[in-house]
Each structure stands twice: as C-alpha cells, then as structure tokens.
Structure 1
Amino acid sequence: MKTAGRQIISFARYADDRGHEGTLSPDIALRWAKANATIADPFTWAKRLEVLRPFATFLAAEYGETTFPATNPFGRTKRRLAPHIFTIEEITAIIAEAHHIRRVQAAGTLMMPALVGLLAATGLRISEALSLQLRDLDLEAAQILVREAKYGRQRLVALHPTSVAALENFLDRRNAIFPSSPTDPVFLSELSGKMLTYMNA
C-alpha cells in the first residue's frame, strides 16, 4: 500500500512537471510508466501502470472524462519463474543424500528416500503424496489413486515397473515397523508414527 501511494505521488509530480492539465489520459499514464522506471523493460512498465488503475477507476467515477487503458499495452504484470527440470543424476544424488538424513528428523532414512523417489517418478504434488493411504497404492495394476488432487478431484497415476519395484521394497520395510491397515498413511513420521506433514517433516 505504501509503495502504491508513493507511485501515485510520483505520477502526480510527473504530470505536474510536464504541465498536464485536465483529466487523466492514457498518454500521460503510459509516458509516466516508462519514465524513470527502475528497470527499463515492459514487465516493469506494466506493473507501474497497474498501480494507477485503482486511482483511475476512482477518478472515472468522479470525472466522467477520465480514460485509462482497458488492457495493459505493456503485457503481463506477473512473471512466472521458469521451472527447474531435475536431471536423472540430480534426482539420484538427492535420493542418495536422503538415505543419510539424520534420524532425529521425522522423515528419516526410510520415509524420505521413498517420498523423494515417488515425487520424481510420478510428478505428484507434495500434498498429494503426503495424503496417500496404503489402499491408494495398487501395485498389481501399477497405479496410484490420488484422492485429493487439484480442485478436489480424484485421478489415477500410472507407475513405471521400476517405481512398482521400489514401492514394493519400501512397503515391505515400512509395514514391518509401522501400522499397515488400508487407511493408514503411506508416509509416516519415523519419530511419532503419525502421518507425515509439512510441519513435522
């Protein structure tokens, strides 16, 4: 809010210094958006222009002749970071490191490597993986049922034969130590035996 206020004051000074008279116009708004921008690129100009939009809406309600660009001519105001695609070597190194995680942490040497491997092999969201129950793993059919997918939907995720083998090995070790009823979570805290979550991992 403070930043927006400073930007509006900056715009008012810019318009005044250039002798602008009358109501707000697209021309003066576009020129200000590009003037003295910290970074001279369309993304920065677009963000500066959008700061004025609520102010322009207010002025339009008060003064009917006020005009403002309906769409941003400079383009997007939100920049999505390019995702990092992990290589096989990087994934292998992460899983290997997970085998050495300190046992004082909830997601210890049993759970963490399996969790990381499943995420890498299936593309599951971390929330989806942590919500899995044992009944959701159908290794004979080589698939996983995700009950809490995006927008509350369910979906099936296919498993590669190597993933099936890795999960079978993991489940043999897991079920020998922890509860293994169909509705038990797949991933548990190795300290408390309770469901593994963001908070206790």
Structure 2
Amino acid sequence: MTTLRLALDDYLDLRHSLGFSLRRDAKLLAQFISYLDEQHTDTVTTASAVAWASLPADASPGWLGFRMRVVRGFAAYLQTLDPAVEVPPPGLLSGNGRRAVPYLYSDTDIAALFAEAEQLRTPLRTATMHTVIGLLAVTGMRIGEVIDLDDTDFDATGGLLVVRHAKFGKSRQIPLHPSAVTALLAYQRLRDQTCPRLVASALLVSATGTRLLSYNVGQTFAKLVRRAGLTARSPSCRPRPHDLRHTFAVRTLLDWYRDDGDIAAQLPLLSTYLGHVSPANTYWYLHAAPELLAEAAKRLDATSGVPR
C-alpha cells in the first residue's frame, strides 16, 4: 500500500470520527490516487488535481467542482504532514456554486420508471429497483440512506424505518404508510426466497445477496430513465434519483399550501423528517420550484387583497 493510500485511510478515519459519511469522497479519492500512480507521482500538485478533476467528458461544471473540492480537502490534510503538497486554490473548477434545478417527477413519470423496471433481467432486480424508487418517492430519503438500510432498521409492527448514521451523523425515524409496509414485507419474502444465504445484513440487496452499490443503482436508474423517455428540461434540470427526494418535499409543501396550512410552523417538521441540519436547507424548496412560487403568490395576493 502506497504512502498516499495510508494517508487516505487516516484522513477518512478522521473525517468519519467527526460525523461525515464520505462514501462518494472515499471512492473519488481512491480513483485520484490510482491516477497519480499511473502518472508515477507520489505527491499532490495543483496541476495533477486539475488534470484529474477535469477528466470526465461532458461532465457538468457542478460535478467537476465537486471533484475538485474533494481533492482540495484531502490535499489540505496532506499539507499538514508534508509542506511540499500543493493545495489547489478555491477558484479552480468552482462550478459557480449553483445547485441543480430539481426535476419534479409526475405520477406518470414514476409509473413509467416502474414499468421499465419490469423489463430488468431477474424478478429480484425488478423488485429491488421498484423498492428503491418507491422508498425515495414516498419517504424523501437520500439514495445513500436507502442503500445503507439494514434488515433490522425496518420495524414492520411499528411501521417505521430507522435511518442511522445519515448525513452529518444524524439519525431519525421515518413513519411508513401501511401500503409501504406491505410492499417491504413482500420484498423481503422474495429476497429471502431468491437469496436464502444473504451475504449482507442489508434490507435491499443485489442479485448475489450483497449490499447495493450507489454507482450500480445510479447506472440502472439512468437506464430506466432513458427507456421511459424522460429527458432533461434544461442543462441543470435532469432526472436523477435524488430528485425523487426533491419531488417528495415539493409535493408535501404544495399539499400544505393548498390545505391553507401554516407553512412557517410546519416547515421545521418537514426539515426534521428529511434529516436537514437546519430548516434553512428546507426553505430552499420554496424558491427552487415554480409550482411553489405560484402557490406562495396566490396566498400573498389573497392576504393583500390584490385581484388576480
């Protein structure tokens, strides 16, 4: 094992102890070190960081910026051990700091994804993708949280999912609709019949009984999106698994608006449910979706007496 790989292990251990998950960071940094090995260099320079971060063809500025931020954090750690390490300045591949515009799925879109999942190679793969998509749509969980669920995190009697060690080290309980409980129990039965000797303790598994990998789920989801005919609405608004979480949040807020709910009082509840560190992160949805802006405008006009 190279010195850089040993340093990476120490860096990840340190960040994990502070409550960070870093699943994607760990994968990217391992790829970065492999790139440095191919270049026959054993240290990090600004030039090597930019060259690696820029590798993906046709990648969005946001993704290139994320890759650079991951390397910058690791380089800053390495520099405390070796002053010769260069830390790339913040302005490089910044990605403009813009968040992707949420792709809000309609019921028809979700039904189309389910239909395409029926065409996957095995009944277990179909059931697994149905369950992944369903959980993202009805709970607003993050994809990493869904993949990390263990069998013991599903309480069928209480109708709960327990999300452990989520983003920023936070844990929470998510109540499930009875229909979701029924669907998860059916999935477990099929899973156990198909893979009687599970390799992992995971709730959702691959065809070989192992825990799902985010990369593989993302690839399969992208395939379903293409086959379902779902297309980007703009360069910054493309259908992603994470947008099912956005769709859940926006639909919840829309329901509250249309029921004349007290949004200011209820928003912290949604923030807690989604696992946001602060309600400020949830307020982002109020200006990220045109549908919500329209509902907010209606309420403003009604209270101000402005005719429509």
Q: TM-score, normalised by structure 2?
A: 0.36
* Residue deviations 1:3-47 (CA, integer Å, cap 9, x gap): xxxxxxxxxxxxxxxxxxxxxxxxxxxxxxxxxxxxxxxxxxxxx
CA distance in 2, matches of 1:166, 1:196: 19
Return the letter of the residue paired with 1:98: A
Question: Aligned ranges for residues 44-193 of structure 1 at < 5 Å?
Answer: 78-103=97-122, 108-179=125-196, 184-190=201-207, 192-193=208-209
Return the letter of the residue paired with 2:141: L
Between structure 1 and structure 2, the one with the greater Rg is 1
CA distance in 1, matches of 2:195, 2:169: 28
CA distance in 2, matches of 1:176, 1:102: 17
CA distance in 2, matches of 1:93, 1:114: 15
Return the letter of the residue paired with 1:139: A
Work out the number of aligned pairs and report it: 122
CA distance in 1, matches of 2:153, 2:119: 28
CA distance in 2, matches of 1:180, 1:96: 29
CA distance in 1, matches of 2:176, 2:164: 16
The 8 Å contact of residues 146 and 154 in structure 1, kept in 2 or not, is answered as yes
Counterpart of 2:213 in structure 1 is: 197
The 8 Å contact of residues 189 and 200 in structure 1, kept in 2 or not, is answered as no
Q: 1:152 to 1:117 in 2, by over 3 A?
A: same
1:179 offset after TM fit, Å? 4.8
Q: TM-score, normalised by structure 1?
A: 0.54
CA distance in 2, matches of 1:178, 1:137: 19
2:132 is paired with a residue whose SS is helix
CA distance in 2, matches of 1:133, 1:141: 16
* Residue deviations 1:105-131 (CA, integer Å, cap 9, x gap): xx7223111111111111111100000
Give the fraction of aligned pairs with identical amino acids, expressed as a percent. Answer: 34
Return the letter of the residue paired with 1:174: R
Counterpart of 1:40 in structure 2 is: none
1:177 offset after TM fit, Å? 2.3
Which runs of 5 or more structure 1 residues have no equivalent in the other structure?
3-76
The 8 Å contact of residues 134 and 180 in structure 1, kept in 2 or not, is answered as no
The 8 Å contact of residues 197 and 209 in structure 2, kept in 1 or not, is answered as no
Return the letter of the residue paired with 1:99: E
Which runs of 5 or more structure 2 residues have no equivalent in the other structure?
1-45, 48-95, 218-308
Give the CA RMSD over aligned residues: 2.4
1:145 offset after TM fit, Å? 0.1
Misfit runs of 4+, over 6 Å: none
* Residue deviations 1:62-118 (CA, integer Å, cap 9, x gap): xxxxxxxxxxxxxxx533232122112211211121121234xxx722311111111
Give the structure with the higher percent helix. 2
Q: 1:180 to 1:132 in 2, by over 3 A?
A: farther
The 8 Å contact of residues 154 and 162 in structure 2, kept in 1 or not, is answered as yes
